[in-house]
């Protein structure tokens, strides 16, 4: 092992080779440390999520199970997470890549392209997005200039409906609607939600009021 750099080290250090990526000039306490590092790095390069595990992870993610809980659940099925062949970081990276692909090719990307185009054509167009702790889009709200004007005129009574589910994830599509002076239906805003939980609705109603200049409605009908 003539190419190995072995230098005197501080024995009080808890771990000499704390880095997990090889680089030129790394120092080790002994040849045994070099061998152990080589084995650890080799195992990390070979880690991968199998198609079977990926299917289980996708099912858990689609069911709304958080990544940590998914990793623990997958570990329980093989008598311990150390037997999985991948780490929790690998699972997070897999989900992050999956969501980024969905963002590029899916409905979220199409909506963003639509929003950008509408904003360029009319600065009064407004939209808001809520992100989760991994900076992924969860809830989206938008209102065009016609919706803003109609709410200012006819927004005392609002109907809010989330019964429409328009995509394979069954994410609720919500509409704020009302009636104009001709008793015709008019739209005050629309939203694509991640779920129908209290935090999502709280964000949506606060965003709706902000978009409409904090003009509060008098009555709201919803199921």
Chain centre distance of CA 85: 25
Q: How confident is the model at residue 89 (pLDDT cuts 50, 70, 90)?
A: confident
**What pTM value is reported for the model?**
0.52
Q: How confident is the model at residue 187 (pLDDT cuts 50, 70, 90)?
A: very high
DSSP single-letter state for residue 16: S
Q: Please calculate the CA angle 47-50-54 and round it to the nearest 5 degrees.
A: 115
The pLDDT value given to residue 101: 52
pLDDT tens profile 129-155: 887 766 677 888 999 999 999 999 999
Long-range contacts of 76-85 (CB under 8 A, 24+ apart): 84/53, 85/47, 85/48, 85/49, 85/50
How much of the chain, in percent, has pLDDT values that exceed 90? 23
Cβ neighbours for 209, distance < 8 A, ≥ 6 positions apart:
215, 216
Q: Of all helices (H) and strands (E), which one includes residue 14?
A: none
Q: How confident is the model at residue 16 (pLDDT cuts 50, 70, 90)?
A: very low
pLDDT tens profile 91-122: 877 776 666 555 444 566 777 788 888 888 88
The pLDDT value given to residue 68: 80
Distance CA 154, CA 164 (A): 24
> How many residues are there in the chain?
223
């Amino acid at each position: 092992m003539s190419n190995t750099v072995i230098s005197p080290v501080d024995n009080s250090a808890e771990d000499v080779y704390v880095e997990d990526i090889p680089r030129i000039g790394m120092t080790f306490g002994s040849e045994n440390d070099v061998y152990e590092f080589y084995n650890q790095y080799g195992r990390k390069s070979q880690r991968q999520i199998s198609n079977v595990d990926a299917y289980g992870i996708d099912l858990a993610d689609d069911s709304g199970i958080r990544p940590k809980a998914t990793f623990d659940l997958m570990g329980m099925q093989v008598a311990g997470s150390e037997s999985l062949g991948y780490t929790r970081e690998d699972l997070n990276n897999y989900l992050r890549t999956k969501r980024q692909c969905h963002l590029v090719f899916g409905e979220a990307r199409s909506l963003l392209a639509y929003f950008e185009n509408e904003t360029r054509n009319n600065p009064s167009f407004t939209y808001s997005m809520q992100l989760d702790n991994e900076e992924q889009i969860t809830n989206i709200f938008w209102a065009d200039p016609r919706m803003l004007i109609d709410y200012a005129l006819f927004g005392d009574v609002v109907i809010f409906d989330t019964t429409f589910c328009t995509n394979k994830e069954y994410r609720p599509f919500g509409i704020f609607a009302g009636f104009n002076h001709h008793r015709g239906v008019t739209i005050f805003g629309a939203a694509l939600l991640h779920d129908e939980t209290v935090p999502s609705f709280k964000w949506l109603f606060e965003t709706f009021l902000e978009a409409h200049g904090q003009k509060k409605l008098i009555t709201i009908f919803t199921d």
